[in-house]
Amino acid sequence: MPVIIDGTNGVTTNSGTLISATTIGVGGATPSASGSGITFPATQSASSDANTLDDYEEGTWTPTIAGWTSITYQVRLGTYVKIGRQVTCWFDIRLTAGTNAGTSVTFTGLPFTTGTNANGGGMTTYADIPVTDRSYYPPYPSSISTTVSFYNFVNGSSVTSNANISGTKYLQGCVMYEV
Amino acid sequence: MALTENTSIDQIEIVGDWNIQVRQATVITKNGEQVARSFHRWVLTPDMDISGQEQKVQDIANAAWTPEVRQAYETFKAEQAKRMP
């Protein structure tokens, strides 16, 4: 397949398609030696064009329960995928101890600061932390922060813990937001 | 066929007026060529204890978090708390 590269048109082929056996680097990125795909620059080169995918990154982060004392974590895992401006974070927090009565259920540590209008939300997949209201409580990221709080799905009130942690308690789910 | 692992802070960004985004990269190389890379991220704000951070992170934070910025952050936090249900 003939491939033509010039300073005006970039790369063109006779068939109009371009096939790479492994990886393609964009923005001057060195193509990854692992697997097949598109390699973006390690530091995002943001595009103002709405149809341009300008970033991809995956990694880990560490969620931290806020406002409680004497916390013992059994598991404290966070992973994320960032695609353009959209960040999706998964959290898995398991506690075996924590003094928390009367405080909100909140964690910090998101990998990217949320945007001015975070437009975020998410899903609690499993939680058995003792709270005042046992209604479903989804996670909500605050704007311009790395904080996620939980609110009653029905009336929007802040979810408050009402008993110290005893035994293994879970807080698991995911949250999405814009940066 | 020597595999080596190197962990370092490879990105420090100031986002907005006070948020400092830090990225730690772990790179695995085989005979000098990168074969894998992973990231771990966290964000620092002026109300955090940064004494455990690498010196270069502390230096940037201390330069960015002027008394005016710290005050603006406290004001922001207070206003944000008022908006909470």
A85 in the same domain as A30: no
Query: What order do you get walking across the sheet with A147-150 strand by strand?
Result: A64-65, A106-108, A147-150, A139-141
Q: Would residue A75 count as lying in a domain? A: yes
Render pLDDT for A40-76 as a digit per residue (tens, 0 to 9): 998 899 999 999 999 999 999 999 999 899 999 999 9
A171 in the same domain as A148: yes
Rounded-to-integer distance, Cα A46 and Cα B6, Å: 28
Q: Would residue A14 count as lying in a domain? A: yes
* Residue segments in chain A with a per-residue pLDDT below the cut of 70: 1-3, 5, 7, 9, 118-119
Rounded to the nearest 5°, which phi and psi values hold at A125?
A: -90, -30
pLDDT at A40: 93
Chain B interface residues (partner A, CB cutoff 8 A): 10-11, 15-16, 19, 21, 23, 25, 33-36, 38-43, 45, 76, 80, 84-85
Question: Which residue type sits at B34?
Answer: Q
pLDDT above 90 (res B55): yes
A112 in the same domain as A70: yes
Our count of domains for chain A comes to 2
pLDDT at A33: 82
Mean pLDDT throughout B30-49? 92
pLDDT at A63: 98
SS (H, E, C) chain B: CCEEEEEEEEEEEEECCCEEEEEEEEEEEECCEEEEEEEEEEEECCCCCCCCCCHHHHHHHHHHCCHHHHHHHHHHHHHHHHHCC
pLDDT at B47: 94
Interchain pair A60, B41: CB under 8 A: yes
Q: Would residue A54 count as lying in a domain? A: no
Mutate to test the interface with A, among B41, B48, B73 (most CBs of A within 10 A): B41
**DSSP conformation class of A104:** B
Q: Would residue A52 count as lying in a domain? A: no
Tokens of A122: 């998410």
Interchain pair A59, B21: CB under 8 A: no
Q: Would residue A65 count as lying in a domain? A: yes
Mean pLDDT throughout B28-32? 88
pLDDT above 70 (res B12): yes
Tokens of A57: 């990154």
Interchain pair B38, A43: CB under 8 A: no
Q: What proportion of chain A, given as a percentage, has pLDDT over 90?
A: 53
pLDDT at A15: 77
A64 in the same domain as A42: no
Q: Who wins on pLDDT, A163 or B56? A: B56
pLDDT above 90 (res B49): yes
Q: Would residue A26 count as lying in a domain? A: yes
Q: Who wins on pLDDT, A140 or B82? A: A140
pLDDT at A156: 81
pLDDT at B85: 61
Residue A75: give the domain boundaries: 59-178
A30 in the same domain as A74: no
A82 in the same domain as A26: no
A110 in the same domain as A38: no
A65 in the same domain as A31: no
The pTM of this model reads: 0.88
